[in-house]
Amino acid sequence: MDGCRRLFKALAISFSTMTLFTGITPLYGSSLQYAGPAPLVWGWVVVAFFTWFVGIAMAEICSSFPTTGSLYFWAAHLAGPVWGPFASWCCAWLETIGLIAGIGTQAYAGSQVLQSIILLCTGTNKGGGYLAPRGVFLAMYVGLTIIWAILNTFALNVIAFIDIISMWWQEILLLHEHLLKNGGLNDFIVELRSQGVVLYDVMGKVYTMAKDQIGCRFLQEKFTEGDPEDIEKIFCEIISYIVEIMIDPFRNYLVQKLLEVCNEDQRMCILCAVTGKTSELFRISCDMHRYALPICYDVLLLFMGMQVCLVNVTGE
């Protein structure tokens, strides 16, 4: 029974190291921005596959030398009596530097996620949400590091308990989110389709629906139906976020469909939203996947009657 508890605690430690809070979520945004959806998904698969070989090799060594302080012990024995002390010394210092860098990296990533949580809880970036300035962000970073230092110094048993709670907490929340998303939103949209409910029932939530793949599909169906009143309702709720939707790899098609069905005044509003601020054009030109460039190009040509060239960061 004690052996099972130790194994479970070891699993909880590994699971917490790869936690959504400090392991996956901070990397997701950069990977999606600079690589795209396909490399993001398959990159995890390929790296995970080759990481298995590292784990298998370490498991083989561990089964031969099952001891505490294993890294230094393994290095000393595998290097032999001549180079053993030096190899053990190098291994110890590399491990120490790696742990220091790892703690700093996780504290920084945790601060980023915490800042995003605060921003979303108080509103969005455009909706008056609180975005922590550099000083507050640094305070969060230092605060997380100090909390971890205190726990590791005075409360090792508490850390094991927190790791177990963290593992179950993430599993339960992910399961709940999966059921809520696939049960709640899907059922809601199926109900809308089956009963023919108009957009009036989702007024104020159109942008939220646009962030979901199924909800975005529902809105596109409304465009296809061609009801000017429904188009106007959707347009009014997403126009403030039009550039954000244009550069989104999953939602940009919604704007393409909107351009096909909207009237001249609505197209002019889209043009003003795109060209009204230099920062918005900069966001579009810096979109490495250029999802928004064809849309922006069509809008500008439509009103200016001449060829407009937007140069992105690749120089194309």
Provide the total of helices (H) and of strands (E) in the chain, helices listed first.
15, 0
Average pLDDT for runs of 10 along the chain of length 316 = 56 66 69 77 87 88 79 86 91 89 84 82 70 89 90 77 74 64 53 56 69 72 78 80 72 74 79 69 57 57 48 44
Cα separation values, 173 from 165, 180, 307, Å: 12, 10, 50
* Per-residue pLDDT, 143: 92
Cα separation values, 134 from 15, 139, 140, 141, 184, Å: 30, 9, 10, 10, 38
Structure tokens at 222: 């409304």
The per-residue pLDDT for range 180-222, each reduced to its tens digit, is 555 455 555 555 555 555 566 667 777 777 766 667 777 777 7
To the nearest 10°, report the CA torsion of 258, 263, 264, 265: -90
Q: In whole angstroms, give the CA distance from residue 207 to residue 241.
A: 8
The per-residue pLDDT for range 63-95, each reduced to its tens digit, is 888 876 678 888 888 888 899 999 999 998 998
Q: In whole angstroms, give the CA distance from residue 252 to residue 204.
A: 20
Closest of 7, 2, 3 to residue 167, by C-alpha: 7
* Per-residue pLDDT, 83: 92
* Per-residue pLDDT, 53: 93
* Per-residue pLDDT, 310: 43
